[in-house]
């Protein structure tokens, strides 16, 4: 009798402790066994995430190709990619496709990534570097390792961009278990990949983030820009949680690495 009551007491206390202990785990700290949720029930998309594809080279399907600087050899050759564009090709208007081709031809000097310029949206998502999402019961904040780019995602926000910026202005809302982010105010100077694909500053981008498992997220971005595309088009890819228990977000300040490209022609010539 006493034994039964004691067991019940332990069970009851354990249940209460379990309820009280349902504080979100600190993100970026390893493999999750169930989809985490915030105290208000929303999926918890916080953590360190990274794309695992070759969209950063070219979002359209492409075969392997020579490196843009031949002397770099196979190490820096362009790997193949099956593409992340729904339907395969970006529906450029003819003048815009010509601009894309010109970007490609001049990518060595002109890719803003090589200049350590912020990669913009959505390119920052699928750069081959991690990014970290911070989520509280109000807003969402994202830091991308490349050039330490920041996005404040204003949850429930309706404000249009007060000014064009490299990372745009983001308003977020939950549609069921999908986090939908509307981006305006992009500056049209960022590219979409290393192949010269681009948007203009008239682009409106809608991202959709959906946890499809504790350590996998589906990412979609639809880009609408009637000045350069004949219709809106969508990219889609999985994102993978960085599951290392001791993962540390390290600094990638790339400014110094871009200075030769930007200012090399202004160096003092060597003395004869």
Partner 1 sequence: MIRRAITIAGAAALVTALLAPAPSSAQTRMTAWGEPDISGYFTQSQTVPLQRPEELGEQEFYTPEEAAERAARRMAPPEGPPERNRGTNSDVHYDFDQFGLSGFQNEVATNLRTSIIVDPPNGRMPALLDAARERADARREARRGREFDGPENRSLTERCIVWSSTLPPILPGGYNSNMQIFQSPGYVVIQAEMGDPRIIPTNGEAHAAGDLQQYNGVSVGRWEGESLVVETTNFHEATAWRNSGPNMKVTERLTRIDDDTVEYRFTVEDPETWAAAWSGVYPLARIDGPIYEYDCHEGNYGIANILAGQRAEERRQAENGQ
Report the interface residues with partner 1, using CB under 8 A.
Answer: 23-29, 38-40, 46, 116-118, 132, 134-137, 139, 141, 143, 147-148, 150, 152, 162-163, 165-167, 246, 248-251, 253, 255-256, 258-259, 262-263, 266-268
Cβ contact 205:222 at 8 Å: yes
Residue 44 in 3-state DSSP? Answer: coil
Q: Are residues 205 and 122 in contact, defined by beta-carbon separation less than 8 angstroms?
A: yes
Nearer to partner 1, 85 or 140 (CB): 140
Nearer to partner 1, 165 or 206 (CB): 165
User: Closest CB to partner 1 among 132 and 199?
Assistant: 132
Evaluate whether 186 touches 223 at the Cβ level (below 8 Å). Answer: no
Least distance from partner 1 to the Cβ atom of residue 69, Å:
21
Smallest gap from Cβ 127 to partner 1, in A, equals 16
In the complex, the smallest distance separating the C-beta of residue 244 from partner 1, rounded to whole angstroms, is 8
Closest CA to 130 of 28, 54, 242, 221: 242
Q: Is the dihedral of CA 28, 33, 39, 42 positive or negative?
A: positive
**Total number of residues shown for the chain:** 272
Q: Which residues share a beta bridge with 233?
A: 223
Least distance from partner 1 to the Cβ atom of residue 171, Å: 12
Closer of 84 and 116 to partner 1 (Cβ): 116
């Amino acid at each position: 009798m006493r034994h039964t009551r004691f067991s019940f007491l332990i069970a009851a206390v354990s249940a209460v402790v379990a309820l009280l202990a349902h504080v979100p785990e600190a993100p970026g700290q390893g493999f999750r066994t169930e989809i985490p949720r915030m105290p208000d029930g929303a999926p918890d998309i916080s953590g360190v995430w990274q794309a695992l594809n070759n969209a950063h080279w070219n979002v359209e399907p492409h075969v392997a190709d020579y490196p843009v600087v031949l002397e770099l050899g196979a190490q820096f050759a362009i790997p193949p990619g099956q593409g992340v564009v729904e339907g395969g090709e970006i529906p450029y208007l003819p003048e815009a496709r010509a601009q894309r081709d010109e970007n490609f031809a001049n990518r060595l000097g002109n890719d803003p990534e090589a200049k350590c310029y912020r990669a913009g949206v959505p390119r920052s998502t699928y750069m081959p570097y991690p990014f970290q999402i911070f989520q509280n019961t109000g807003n969402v904040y994202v830091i991308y390792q490349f050039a330490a780019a920041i996005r404040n995602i204003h949850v429930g926000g309706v404000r249009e961009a007060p000014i064009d910026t490299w990372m745009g202005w983001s308003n977020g809302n939950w549609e069921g278990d999908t986090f939908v982010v509307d981006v305006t105010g992009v500056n049209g100077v960022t590219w979409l990949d290393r192949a010269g694909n681009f948007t203009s500053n008239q682009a409106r981008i809608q991202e959709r983030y959906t946890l499809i498992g504790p350590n996998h997220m589906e990412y979609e971005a639809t880009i609408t820009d009637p000045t350069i595309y004949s219709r809106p088009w969508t990219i889609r890819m999985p994102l993978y949680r960085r599951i290392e228990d001791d993962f540390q977000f390290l600094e990638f300040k790339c400014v110094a690495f871009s200075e030769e490209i930007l200012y090399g022609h202004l160096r003092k010539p060597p003395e004869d």
